[in-house]
Structure 1
Amino acid sequence: MFGKKLTDKQIKEIRDAAIGISNSEEAWNKLAPLIKAQASNEVAADALINVIRNGHLTIDQSLNLLSEIFEAHKNNDDIAILIGNAMSAGRNLDYLNDPPPTHPMFTQIIKRLHDMALIANDEKTEALIVEGLSSTARLMARQHDEIAEKSYTRLVELLPDASWAHYNQGLFFKTRGRFAEGVKANQKAIELADEPGDSELWNLGICATGSGQGEIALQIWKKIGQKIEMGRFNLPEGGYPSCKVRLAQYPLAERDADHDDPGLEETIWIERLSPCHGIIRSVLYYDLGIDYGDVILIDGAPITYHKYGDKQIAVFPHLATIRKNHYQFFDFAGTQSAEGELGDISEHLEKDAVIYSHTENFSILCSACWHNAAIDHEHKKSEEKHVVTGRIAVPPGIDPKDILDKIDNILKDTPETRVFSPDLCRAAGLADRARIEEQRFKLLMNSVN
């Protein structure tokens, strides 16, 4: 169809047609003439970058095509600037705590833009350069934070009246756990905006919560129509349904360049206190350094949704840990005559102590199933379990012996329902009982493993 050199009009028609296609493979096929022509046609390269920047291709397609364009236009500063501002298409931003991407395009464009910024001779061009440099460096987890921070600082110096420049700087501060600085940046963005959008308001609310500025957070949540007042931990609290969080052992905000990986991750339930923070209400299976009862900060955009019957439960990324409450934890193994029987004992324990069955509440999913919002997690449970293992969580300040006595009293008339926790016995000062329970504990553990 396009045997001759593509005209600018034809390039625009192909670009617009691809943008209107929802399927990335079909969009890729539609772009074939531009992909073929881009090496010798700057207008075609520009059009392709535009399609990529607007999210119409997959991550792999985007990065590979950007690499081809970059290679073909190595000495073209304008193309390098455009690529820098399209690099967000090369990462799934929902996965806030992912390790830095390994595709070489990221480091290549950071080096290219950094070199360009050093010799930029006019402020308009420099602003375009550092805009792409700052955002691309931010996408590299904690690997290039110095470049990112200097670039964001320079951007707001060059464009002091641009709301979006201050917002982007605030986004950087938020994801790095520098919440007080994020408050100031987002306040400036809101001050300069003709009409502040949800993004500016939410990021200000999140940063205010993370920095312990509860009154500022409360003002923001009320401004966007939340029914909320000051509550526990001197932070806003309202009546929100429980939700899930993908916890990271090392969230992005708590890492550095030398240790830039999320470590272990586990998806848990929280008692959601505000739009952006809550109390962990799952007893963790893995050791992530935080656990049941701790207070965490979450980001505003869900990663995905998990279906439970007719309910869609949002799953948020873990932004940072606000407060550790130092609960006591004791492994247990037990028997029960019906599903959930041991867990139900928790209702009769002091404060929010809990007997948490991992046998019934913990499962390992493949990545595809975890992300699939159509899978009904309510019906993924297996057959009823009569031997269960897990952990007992006890609030600080409560004597383990009091919890042990309470459990014994509840189970005294139900011989078929038993809890064996040698760790709890030892903490209660009952060494002889701990030795006896150790044998039964091991037998039950072996039977389920």
Structure 2
Amino acid sequence: MTLTGIAPTVFDELESAVRTYCRRFPTVFTKASGHHMWDEQGRVHVDLLAGAGSLNYGHNPAAIKAAVVDYLLDDGIVQGLDLHTSAKAEFLRRFREVVLAPRGLEYRIQFTGPTGANAVEAAFKTARRVTGRTDIVAFTGGFHGLSLGALAASATAFKRGAAGVPLSHVTRMPYEGFTGEGADTLDHLARFLDDPGSGVDLPAAFVVETVQGEGGLAAASPRWLRGLADLAAARGILLIVDDIQTGCGRTGTFFSFEEAGIVPDLVCLAKSISGLGLPMALVLIRPELDQLGPGEHSGTFRGNNLAFVAATAALDHWADPAFTTRLRDNATVLGGLLDELARTHARTGCAVRGRGMIRGLAFTDEGLAEKVSRAAFARRLLVETSGARGQVLKIMPPLAMDEDELRRAVAVLDDAIATAARGDGP
């Protein structure tokens, strides 16, 4: 498909071949608001991609955007390294007030480089420092980033293959459901850890996603997560929850682990923490584990003050009971709509995965998800695929999307699935 308007070959001529999303959605976008994106031809697209989880509140939410614009117009500090700034102080106070205190959580906040992968790297360093051990246990289907330490914990062969060097100090264990329905993967893990003949060293930490955003939308049950936390605590292993894609409300609560009633030792947040798609990442650390020294995990862009301002404004959502009620209602509506979609397309083996507002549709034919994504794009709906084989359609609308708009978007998906299942073109 050829791009039009802006010089049609400029991307091919100048941009690296590593680009991905633009290949799936080949048009030139010019503006966005809420759950809509406009291309250069003026066509409106409905966005169920949500910046891969970095736009939980939609594109350019008015209150957050206004806070950033006002801060800029007032010559607020933009680049602050890790200097004390009023923007950072206000974010820290607001985060404690709105997120930590109501949940009875006591964490130190480490600002890392602005990517989720950098937060994961920092969490691994902390776990290794605290325990004096080197290995990390990660799980099948997991994705934690593309820098070498985070990539070692990521499971997808395609992404791991780009490293060019051995990826070490990570032991892979089966996620819940990986070895078949009813199989006790925690018992499997415990046996490997406790048997001196297993060849598995006691790790520094477990790293886990409660819902595997890039791993096909597999979702761990609260019972499994509680069991994992208990297993870790009993053996002096730290528990790291990677909430980079599933945090900030994506599963229906601010943290994805709240339903399970666990308190991880470390929590990685990024993507939607800034509320406006501005780069920002952090690690929440139990105070006694905050053992890295000054400068041992640094980075120029830890001090993205625009992100602090946006993140502070985004937290206003969580101080508003109406927002959390609407989020729960939307999650219920979306789940019901997708369950109905699965029944309608039962011949495709359609099955609903995920939780809250991060959902997936898996099909018996693993190639069907890709065909549905293409058919949806032809209908001006942006929806990507997930899983090691791209076998699951991934659905991530803005958290507070209007219910009628949710229904319209799922109706477009319905049509796209029917078209793809028939083998028709887009």
TM-score band (shorter)?
under 0.3
Q: Which has the higher contact order (CA 8 A, sep 6+)?
A: 2
Larger Rg: 1
TM-score (norm 1): 0.25
Bigger fraction of residues in helix: 1
